[in-house]
């Protein structure tokens, strides 16, 4: 699971987190996390975002509140999380036990030419989540810590927030369906059944 | 309502805040996202007192657009309450509605609109409708108390029946402009 840099390989980490996912819904922030969740297996319960930078965590909150008995995982990048960082306060106040946010932190804006993000310069997202009031947090750098990360995601003691430091190298592009209407409709059907398309 | 508050709340005799609450119930709205506005203060209180409505107070209005997206994915209807200045914070995030064809009704109380006192409210207040429409939102105005309930009803119906962003702008003429004692 380690890249040559000695850091976690983003795609192997994603594969480990989504293996045996059960009924868990996964929201992936735009860019590499969206390609990652698709590379390890496109799924009706995946929402790979094509836009709305900064939205991933809040989409997770809306979904977690609507479906309190279902695990919701937001998998996103450091740049995407920083853009919507106020969501940490909003989510911590609402205390959704079924919501987890995992930031795959490569300390760079990977889609735009590898410019450095604030986390490269010491901004500590775990400390920010703790400060907002997240009761459970983790900082992950080693493969041996991934089983505990996965257990925390499934525990339902959230809201849970973790940063996993990952290798910065970009991986092969694996694109999800590009029509967002299909992505939304298939998830709603997977959660709500055929009635999803007849909601009044 | 704090008498020294900068924003003006609707008159206690005004029926429309309770009418909007009734419409939220009628349309089975289960999540309300908001950045507070004095114009919506009574409606917010009604929502907070309702165990069947989840109220999420946002740090910025664009979070609300994302929250509406998440709620709809999970099968719940949601609305966003904000004042006109908050519309500017939502611009790029409104693309989510078009990407996914997600219903996103917004109820906006206007500032910088009719008899505004505060110069800082004018630029965004004057641009609110243009900005929303530039992002593909169906916008209807309500400038009399009697117009508010039917317009909000239409805004909620349009969003959930036709899968797009919709907004009612509640004119400052209805709520009144605070004058800081300089009448």
Residue of B nearest to A57 (CA): B66
Residue of A47, A58, A63, A71 to mutate, testing the B interface (most B Cβ within 10 Å of its Cβ) = A58
| B4, pLDDT greater than 80 | no
Residue B98 structural domain: 17-175
Q: Nearest by CB to B59, which of A61, A86, A183?
A: A86
- The DSSP secondary-structure symbol of A166 reads B
Rounded distance between C-alpha atoms, residue B54 and residue B41, angstroms:
16
CA of A23 to nearest chain B CA: how many angstroms apart?
A: 13
- Give the three-state DSSP class for B78: strand
Q: Nearest by CB to A63, which of B65, B70, B93?
A: B70
> Beta partners for B55?
B32
List of domains in chain A: 10-190 (3.40.50.970)
| B2, pLDDT greater than 90 | no
Rounded distance between C-alpha atoms, residue B70 and residue B74, angstroms:
6
- Which two tokens mark A68? 């309190």
Residues B91-139: tens digit of each pLDDT? 999 999 999 999 999 999 999 999 999 999 999 999 999 999 999 999 9
Q: Let me know: does A85 contact A126? Beta carbons within 8 Å.
A: no
Query: Which pLDDT value is given to residue A152?
Result: 98
- Residue B49 covered by a domain: yes
Query: Which pLDDT value is given to residue B10?
Result: 83
Number of structural domains in chain B: 1
Residues A148-174: tens digit of each pLDDT? 999 999 999 999 999 999 999 989 999
Residue of A53, A62, A91, A177 to mutate, testing the B interface (most B Cβ within 10 Å of its Cβ) = A62
Q: Let me know: does B32 contact B55? Beta carbons within 8 Å.
A: yes
Give the residue-averaged pLDDT of B164-175: 96
CB within 8 Å: A51 and B95: yes
Query: Which pLDDT value is given to residue B9?
Result: 82
- Residue B147 covered by a domain: yes
- Residue B118 covered by a domain: yes
Query: Which pLDDT value is given to residue B8?
Result: 76
Work out how many CB contacts closer than 8 A connect A with B. 121
Q: What is the ipTM of this complex?
A: 0.97
- Give the three-state DSSP class for A140: strand
- Residue B6 covered by a domain: no
| A25, pLDDT greater than 80 | yes
- Residue B100 covered by a domain: yes
CA of B7 to nearest chain A CA: how many angstroms apart?
A: 23
| B182, pLDDT greater than 60 | yes
CA of B111 to nearest chain A CA: how many angstroms apart?
A: 24
Query: Which pLDDT value is given to residue A140?
Result: 98
Give the residue-averaged pLDDT of B163-173: 97
Q: Which one, of A162, A15, A14, lies nearest residue A102 by Cα?
A: A162
Residues B66-78: tens digit of each pLDDT? 999 999 999 999 9
Rounded distance between C-alpha atoms, residue A37 and residue A174, angstroms:
9
Residue of B100, B156, B162 to mutate, testing the A interface (most A Cβ within 10 Å of its Cβ) = B100
Which residues of chain B lie closer than 8 angstroms to A63, CB-CB? 70-71, 73-74
- Residue B130 covered by a domain: yes
Report the CATH number at residue B157: 3.40.50.970
Confidence (pTM): 0.96
Q: Let me know: does B19 contact B43? Beta carbons within 8 Å.
A: no
Share of chain A above pLDDT 90, in %: 96
Q: Let me know: does B133 contact B6? Beta carbons within 8 Å.
A: no
Band of pLDDT at residue B3, cut at 50, 70 and 90: low
- Residue B4 covered by a domain: no
Number of C-beta neighbours around residue A175 at 10 A: 12
Q: Does A60 touch chain B (CB under 8 A)?
A: yes
| B19, pLDDT greater than 60 | yes
Averaged pLDDT score across all residues of chain B: 94
DSSP string, A3-29: -TTSSBPHHHHHHHHHTT-TT-EEEE-
Task: Tell me phi and psi for residue B87, to 5 degrees.
Answer: -60, -40
Which residues of chain B lie closer than 8 angstroms to A60, CB-CB? 70
- Give the three-state DSSP class for A47: strand
Residue of A nearest to B32 (CA): A62
Rounded distance between C-alpha atoms, residue A126 and residue B114, angstroms:
45
Distance set, CA A59 to CA A54, B49, B115 (Å): 10, 24, 37
CB within 8 Å: B95 and A61: no
Give the residue-averaged pLDDT of A177-187: 97
- Residue B83 covered by a domain: yes
CB within 8 Å: B96 and A55: yes
Q: Does A54 touch chain B (CB under 8 A)?
A: yes
| Biggest alpha carbon–alpha carbon distance for chain B | 49
Distance set, CA A177 to CA A63, A183, A185, B149 (Å): 21, 7, 12, 40
């Amino acid at each position: 699971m380690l890249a040559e840099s000695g850091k976690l390989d983003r795609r192997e980490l994603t594969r480990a987190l989504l293996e045996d996912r059960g009924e868990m819904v996964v929201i992936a922030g735009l860019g590499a996390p969206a390609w990652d969740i698709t590379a390890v297996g496109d799924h009706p319960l995946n929402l790979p975002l094509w836009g709305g930078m900064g939205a991933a965590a809040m989409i997770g909150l809306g979904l977690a509140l609507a479906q309190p008995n279902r695990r919701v995982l937001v998998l996103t990048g450091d740049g995407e999380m920083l853009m919507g960082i106020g969501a940490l306060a909003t989510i911590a106040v609402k205390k959704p036990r079924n919501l987890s946010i995992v930031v795959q932190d490569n300390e760079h804006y990977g889609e735009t030419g590898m410019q450095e993000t604030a986390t490269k310069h010491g901004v500590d997202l775990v400390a920010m989540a703790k400060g907002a009031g997240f009761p459970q947090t983790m900082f992950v750098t080693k493969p041996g810590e991934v089983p505990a990360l996965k257990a925390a995601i499934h525990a339902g003691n959230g809201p849970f927030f973790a940063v996993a430091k990952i290798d910065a190298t970009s991986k092969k592009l694996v694109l999800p369906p590009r029509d967002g209407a299909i992505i939304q409709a298939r998830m709603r059907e997977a959660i709500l059944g055929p009635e999803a398309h007849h909601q009044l | 309502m704090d008498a020294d508050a900068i924003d003006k709340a609707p008159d206690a005799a005004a029926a429309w805040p309770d009418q909007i609450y009734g419409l939220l119930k009628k349309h089975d709205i289960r999540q309300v996202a908001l950045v507070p506005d004095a114009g919506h203060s009574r409606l917010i209180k009604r929502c907070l007192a309702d165990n069947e409505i989840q109220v999420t107070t946002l740090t910025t209005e664009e979070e609300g657009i994302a929250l509406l997206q998440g709620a709809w994915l999970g099968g719940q209807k949601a609305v966003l309450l904000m004042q006109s200045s908050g519309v500017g914070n939502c611009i790029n995030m409104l693309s989510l509605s078009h990407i996914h064809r997600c219903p996103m009704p917004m109820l906006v109380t206007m500032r910088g609109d009719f008899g505004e006192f505060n110069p800082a409210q004018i630029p965004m207040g004057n641009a609110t409708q243009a900005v929303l429409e530039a992002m593909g939102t169906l916008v209807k105005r309500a400038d009399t108390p009697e117009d508010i309930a039917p317009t909000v009803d239409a805004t909620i119906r349009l969003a959930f029946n036709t899968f797009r962003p919709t907004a009612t702008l509640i004119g400052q003429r209805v709520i009144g402009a605070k004058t800081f004692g300089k009448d």
